[in-house]
Amino acid sequence: MTETCYLNATGILCAAGASYAELSRQFQRPGKTLTQSSAFSIDGRSLPLGMYRGALPPVHGAGDHWDGRNNRMAQAALEQMRPDVEAAIARYGSHRVGVVIGTSTSGIGDNEPGIRHWVQSGKLPDGFAYSRQEMGAPAAFIAECLGISGPVYGMSTACSSGAKTLATARRLIRSGFCDAVIAGGVDTLCAMTINGFSALEAVSDSRCNPFSRNRNGINIGEGAALFLVSREPGPVFLAGVGENSDAHHISAPDPSGQGAIGVMRAALEDASLGPEAIDYLNLHGTATRLNDQMEATAVHQVLGPQVACSSTKPVTGHTLGAAGAIEAGFCWQLLAQTPPTSLPVHLWDNQPDPDLPSLNLVQPGMPQSVRYVMSNSFAFGGNNICLILGKSHETNI
């Protein structure tokens, strides 16, 4: 029998808040979560960004070379579940606990001022640490904070990174390398990313509008979500995973949706579930013309038009390497919370695109009884993953 892995605890922060109570309120009565910052203007044009506006603690328990916004955000998520993590380390030993963290830019935003100084002056400023922007930096930082000596590494597969760490954590536990894994994703805003997506003409000047006929691009965001994964029973279990890499195009999805269809079906098969078992789907839902077309086609073909679904990116922005973990966190909340919370409302202009298959987008007051939820993440290069999370008999909220 295949070993079940549980998501025992979690920590999360993003533009919508830094607690599940805050997130639940935003997903039912969305307020102003996106920020326009002159610090990230493009040709004098400020874009709406999913910027986390709360305080972040300075790093502690690690060297000063780790200090920066990206690692502070990772630490803030870690602190929300630190007692559970420390209990796991005490139980299993530091050598039996792993750390796998997804990111797409790591601490590049922390180092951009230093690079700017180097361009202008010919030398790097005191305190500049290239290691902050390495893709493995968040994982190494967390491991150093906690004194973990098990497997430690980063994952950077663009917008699927955070979700893929949960699949990796399950493999590490099932293969016997670890008894517990800290997995998730963290990404912070940086000028390189915002300029890059702007050059692709993929960003919107207003709040993104997934699956609308008027959709015109994404909002870049930032955030972090971490999980403690183990074989010990907890409130939520990782029921199914589907992964593939269709390699259709470096930045555009396969319009037929075959990559997305493949991972959704693989996740259902891995979970030994039929499509009718899925009570809610968190859509990748970026609000670009091509992604929404592809995903609507795939959802309609695999799950049908009746499954309740929504994109949470109009509230959080697209948090890139952290998105898959953050959105899995929203699904975790739906399953773990007692009494149950409502499904995240799909925030848009209610103008369907007649060229897209019909979807059952969540409206306020929609019934929320859930046993299994699915979350999609699709990345550049056709790197796709679908997660299915299930409700267990254990709850801790």
What angle (nearest 5°) sits at the alpha carbon of residue 394, between those of residues 390 and 397? 95
Among this protein's residues, is 248 annotated catalytic? no
Say if residues 221 and 194 touch (Cβ distance below 8 Å): no
Let me know if 250 is exposed, middle or buried by CB neighbors in 10 A (0-12, 13-18, 19+): exposed
Using DSSP's 3-state secondary structure scheme, residue 387 falls into strand
Catalytic residue among 318, 331, 346, 386: 318
Among this protein's residues, is 95 annotated catalytic? no
Let me know if 216 is exposed, middle or buried by CB neighbors in 10 A (0-12, 13-18, 19+): middle
Separation between Cα atoms, residue 79 and residue 312, nearest integer Å: 24
User: Please, what's the largest Cα pairwise distance for the chain?
Assistant: 62
Separation between Cα atoms, residue 313 and residue 8, nearest integer Å: 25
Catalytic residue among 5, 178, 208, 284: 284
What number of other Cβ atoms are within 10 A of residue 29's Cβ? 9
360-389 per-residue burial string, b: 16 or more CB within 10 A, e: under 16: bbbeeeeebebebbbbbbbbeebbbbbbbb
Among this protein's residues, is 159 annotated catalytic? yes
Separation between Cα atoms, residue 124 and residue 273, nearest integer Å: 55
- Phi-psi domain of 262 (left: phi exceeds 0; alpha: psi -120 through 50; beta: other): alpha
Catalytic residue among 14, 159, 331, 386: 159
Residue 335, phi then psi, degrees to nearest 5: -85, -35
Strand 308-310 to 180-187 pairing: unpaired
Structure token pair of residue 154:
């980063």
Separation between Cα atoms, residue 320 and residue 316, nearest integer Å: 11
Let me know if 127 is exposed, middle or buried by CB neighbors in 10 A (0-12, 13-18, 19+): exposed
As annotated, the active-site residues are 159, 284, 318
